[in-house]
Amino acid sequence: MREFIITRFFQLIVTMFIVSLLVFLMVRLRGDPISIMAPPIFNEEQIQALRAAWGFDRPVLEQYVTFLRKAVTGDFGISFFQRLPAMEVVIDRMGNSWLLAAVASLIGLTIAVPLGILSALKRNSLLDFASTALASLGTAMPSFWLGLMLIIIFSVYLRILPSFGALEPKAIIMPSVTLGVGMAARLSRLTRSAMLEVLNQDYVRTARSKGLQSKTVVTRHALRNALIPVVTVFGLQLGWLLGGSVVVESVFAWPGLGRLMVESINVRDITVVQAGLFWFSLSFILINYALDALYMLIDPRIRIG
Amino acid sequence: METLEVGKVSPEYISTLPPQRSLFTRVTSALFRSPIGVAGAAIVGFVILLAVIGPQISPHDAVDHNLRSRFKPPGYSDSSGSYALGTDQLGRDILSRIIAGSRVSVLVGIVSVLIAGTIGVTYGLVSGFVGGLVDTVMMRVVDALLSIPFIVLVVAISGVVGAGLGTLILILGCTGWVTYARVIRGEVLKVREMEYVTAAYALGQNRPMVMLRHVLPNVISSAIVLAAVQVAVTILAESSLSFLGLGVKTPTVTWGLMLADGKAYINSAWWMTFYPGMAITITVLGVVFLGDWLRDFLDPNIRARA
Closest chain B C-alpha to A123 CA, distance in angstroms? 11
CB contact under 8 A, B156 and A251: no
Taking the C-alpha atoms of residue A180 and residue B202, their distance in angstroms, rounded to an integer, is: 54
For residues B101-130, average pLDDT: 94
**Mean of the per-residue pLDDT values for chain B?**
87
Taking the C-alpha atoms of residue B72 and residue B75, their distance in angstroms, rounded to an integer, is: 8
Give the model's confidence band at B304: pLDDT under 50 very low, under 70 low, under 90 confident, else very high: very low
CB contact under 8 A, A30 and B161: yes
Interchain CB contacts (distance < 8 Å): A and B: 142
A128-168: per-residue pLDDT in tens? 999 988 999 998 999 999 999 999 999 999 988 888 887 88
Alpha-carbon separation of residue B306 from A180, B225, B265, B296 (angstroms):
29, 17, 47, 9
pLDDT value of position A301: 67
pLDDT value of position B56: 85
Please say whether the beta carbons of A151 and A174 come within 8 A: yes
How many Å separate Cα B200 from the centre of its chain?
34
Whose CA is closest to A198, among A293, A116, A303, A127? Answer: A116
Task: Look at residue B301 and tell me whether its pLDDT is greater than 80.
Answer: no
pLDDT value of position B272: 93
Taking the C-alpha atoms of residue A245 and residue A265, their distance in angstroms, rounded to an integer, is: 16
B144 interaction partners in chain A (CB closer than 8 Å) = 15-16, 18-19, 22, 281
Whose CA is closest to A220, among A244, A232, A203? Answer: A203
Residues 6+ apart with CB under 8 A from A100: A172, A175, A176, A179, A245, A249, A254, A256
Task: Look at residue B234 and tell me whether its pLDDT is greater than 70.
Answer: yes
pLDDT value of position A305: 43
B194-215: per-residue pLDDT in tens? 888 889 889 988 888 888 888 8
As beta bridge partners, residue A85 has: A78
Which parts of chain A have pLDDT scores under 70?
1, 299-305
pLDDT value of position B172: 93
Taking the C-alpha atoms of residue B20 and residue B33, their distance in angstroms, rounded to an integer, is: 19
pLDDT value of position A289: 85
Whose CA is closest to A105, among A180, A160, A209, A42? Answer: A180
Whose CA is closest to A18, among A247, A199, A285, A267? Answer: A285
Closest chain B C-alpha to A217 CA, distance in angstroms? 22
B72-111: per-residue pLDDT in tens? 888 888 877 888 888 888 888 899 999 999 999 999 999 9
Helices (H), chain B: 11-16, 23-32, 35-57, 94-130, 132-147, 150-161, 165-175, 177-191, 195-202, 207-210, 216-244, 255-264, 271-298, 300-305
CB contact under 8 A, A15 and B144: yes
Phi, psi of A50 (to 5 degrees): -65, -45
- Looking at the predicted complex, does its ipTM rise above 0.90? no
Task: Look at residue B300 and tell me whether its pLDDT is greater than 60.
Answer: no
Task: Look at residue B285 and tell me whether its pLDDT is greater than 70.
Answer: yes
Question: Is the pLDDT higher at B7 or at A93?
Answer: A93
B149 interaction partners in chain A (CB closer than 8 Å) = 239-240, 242-243, 246, 280, 284
In sequence order, what DSSP letters do the residues of B2-24 get, joined into one string? PPPPTT---HHHHHHSPPP--HH
Taking the C-alpha atoms of residue A272 and residue A211, their distance in angstroms, rounded to an integer, is: 61
pLDDT value of position A167: 80
Q: Is the pTM of this model over 0.80?
A: yes
State the best of B36, B155, B170, B271 to mutate against chain A, taking most chain A CBs within 10 Å. Answer: B155
B262, closest residue in chain A (CA to CA): A148
Closest chain B C-alpha to A26 CA, distance in angstroms? 7
CB contact under 8 A, B152 and A265: no
pLDDT value of position B303: 43
pLDDT value of position A31: 72
CB contact under 8 A, B246 and A262: yes
B42-54: per-residue pLDDT in tens? 999 999 999 999 8
CB contact under 8 A, B148 and A136: no
pLDDT value of position B32: 81
CB contact under 8 A, A246 and B155: yes
